[in-house]
Structure 1
């Protein structure tokens, strides 16, 4: 030890003081300055006045003893090493000294210079090591991240101050308890998956949602690391969680804002197509008003009106889903369906001078992702491609399975070896100059005139793809076009959610149905459709009237179909009231708006949800489902596979 040690000796016998001084003068591995105090009071005063590296305390100190001094300085928070000196060996004194916080116990008359030097050196080294640990613990407590450690059975062994602030539970309270008991609202199955992964792979990264002690939900970006001992044996798991709740909310707001910008750039094309669709409807109505129209022309006019209305409804539904689509959970997705939906929307909204083509593998692997965000990736790339072809051209959307090998992965920073689905968007436009190709994914970078683009489209693409664990490659030749390839990690063994399937037309058998809607045209059209399907229909234009009808015709009404957006009493309130009064009557909720309304209706007590606009076939199928227990229009997403419970 290069730095001289300040050593305090509290000893009431001067001869013993000189003996200790002489022994320390022979030390070869430490340098020290010895300070002597002859009484309990003087020793305590010296310790309170200034710091020392080590304190040597005689067991006998007149009216007091060394153990009393030791207990006093420990109670005052002094942590320096204390070595107790005694005139004779006594096992009881030895045990009491260790219990009181002494670092060593030496017997006078048996001490030699080497033993005293070794005891002091070990005490100082151990104390410095513990000081470093305390400093590191203080740094961990000062960290904003939640930091905790668990043993291999999932029981808490360390818990920093940020974890205390998040949960409202102190380290002492959670010590030794399983994680699901101390992190409220956490997914125990996901915890089990994380523990298995970290013990197998050494690391696990993911997001965990927990409840704060005030009931607020927080999202933690969690990193788990397996800690091993000097022999490589697993000992514990270090868990660091960063609160990303606000960041995720801002990202979602940013993505929605950018999505609305893309929709704004499609509006002109959409308006043109809607106007075209209204023409056959208006002309067809005029034709049907003629009494002299023969049956064949009447049927043709009706078919023309129906096809135009269905195309218009489909166009509005797709644009609305894209504009208002909420970022959902990551589930296995059928990429083919997403590409086909985007291609259909593009054909309806892009100029006819742009030829839309698709090329899709027959058996695409599912990808784990958010359908709305992946649709936004394709839309952003396609809108940019459209802007690059003002005179028209060819736009290709393709999807294929690819296997990224380790050699290719080493050449692409974000890539990892494994199976991917590659989405390609290729155009024959003006291309991208080589000198700006490395800047195109930067936020707000754009070559378009002011007011023609925010420069957020490609940065949004990059952000979404990275969040899905994928990467983007781009190739462009000025004057010949650009090709963007989006690589998304695939899950070949997963099963994608099943798409909507065609259903037969079901008919009623005189069952009473209460139809509630504040729009007279919708109410009248739906009533006519239900009566033609064989149902007896009762109508109401708002919630209170519906409850009166339900009471007046209690024995006849077998089901209720209600709109959600109505004045005075809205649909959700009506559903709850019906569930309280007539829990035996199934309720179908209906709305032309999205954004979580189906889930809200389900929570209120609705048995099914019917998106507006709907056909008579869909209306019949949903009603038959709730009355007779047949399958609905869409199959429910399969429940997650059962996993072992948390220890």
Structure 2
């Protein structure tokens, strides 16, 4: 009997040694703990993880080994979840990411699994814990999260609009730049068709181009987005298809660049070229017309001065001369527009020219219109013909008077601006460090965009037939260009008109 028990004990000891040898060869850290967190078994890998031998950790609390606190983890650390504690509570396997601080300077992350050892009475007496060091994986995942976050910030903060489309041209993703330009939040655009954000003109050919994009793999070209408030936003788009491993269409990524400034520059350049062509044509016509007027004037004077001419004929001749005088005035306007009118250029203080003409401008505008000036303290000096600068003011005043039949305010402001302050519309200018800016405005009827785009063209007028030649503002344009300047207009129906005239500032040699 005694011998049998001894044999069974020997066999049991051998089995424990055998199992312990197996657990020691496993690279995973393993411990067995009681409900009070005291360790009753630890394999070699666990001891090595914490710089101890298995016998040194047996009897210690696991939290003492892992964190060096005097209380269990779930008590010491707020909202901490202990896999072993949960296993004792539920009798079920638990998994958790365990953070330990006693393996060096930096925290280590252990993927922890807790397995209950259930007694015959159904209670959990012991819990087996396996711990695998997943610090590298956690750090890599964090780097990935950081990279994604960084990419998202770069994506959302990019100056260009970016978006991705699926095979149905629905928006899968778009950056905040695109959403903000169109007046939406990104979530409002994702899932909707790109067609919802295109102008009718772009929409007409968008389907065909999208089908070609899917076949060719790329697209470059202009299109117009339609903003929430109805604005048209011209863009230059570059799109590239992304395919799956079978080379089937998966999605396409696109970058859209706002080209409003480019379009405005192109329009300004085209307008400038058109005005130059009109100027050349007007100059040629005016030259030939002047020869004809000279001949008409000569013959009409001969008739009027001839003693033999009857009263009726003399009256008719005088009417011809009066009409020729009116035609000559129009002809002088054409010559001014074409820059063929003789001028005297010299350094002129702009504020002085304005102040000297204020009384005359007041009489021209009439009693119902108040003149307000805000002239710069430093008088801007420009190289100009003062008579022509006065002509600009008179033409502006004349238009303002007609736009304010019930009275209003006529303002003149001057200031010195830097090249960097020059707007896109005024950018076609000779290079200079500083400019004199003269701003002339009224509180009159204003005009729509279509009218504003044409007001500098010769013979364009909104006045009743017979009440204007349509040369006033084209003369202004010609004078300003003759002074190497630029003139722009800003107006809105019912809100008045503002003209801005830029002249290069005079710099003494």
TM range (shorter): 0.3 to 0.5
Structure 1 or 2, whichever has the larger Rg, is: 2
- TM-score, length-scaled by structure 2: 0.38
